[in-house]
Amino acid sequence: MKELFNDIMCVEGIKGILLFSFHGEVIFKSFLSSVPEDPETRDWALFFDAINKIKESDLIFEDGRIYIRRTELGFLVILMSSFAPVALVRLNCDVLLPSLKPAKTSKGLGRFFKR
């Protein structure tokens, strides 16, 4: 899964990427430097329950930004510095989202007629 996020991680100013399920479980994490606390130690369920209906959000702080994007698997959280090009991050997310679809199982006769 790491190769899916390479384009985003190569953008200047990106500090890390987290992919959470809708229930707050960490599916994927990648950071450019060490983090003081492991994300799995927190209960993220309440946070993601509160933002359940958003498509995307850009949170701006004094020392950085957090870009959150809803996917079919859960929420993609991108940690970045305040000077990171958000338009480029959004573009890379638009390209990435079709790759983050859960595997679908075929039902009925369709499973016999695969190409």
pLDDT at 61 over 90: yes
* Segment 62-70 long-range contacts (CB within 8 Å, at least 24 positions apart): 64/15, 67/93, 69/93, 69/97
Query: Domain-by-domain residue ranges, the chain?
Result: 2-112
pLDDT at 110 over 70: no
Give 2-112's CATH code, choosing from 3.30.450.30, 3.40.710.10, 3.40.50.300, 3.40.50.261. Answer: 3.30.450.30
- What confidence tens digit (pLDDT) does each residue in 24-52 have? 899 999 898 877 777 887 888 888 888 88
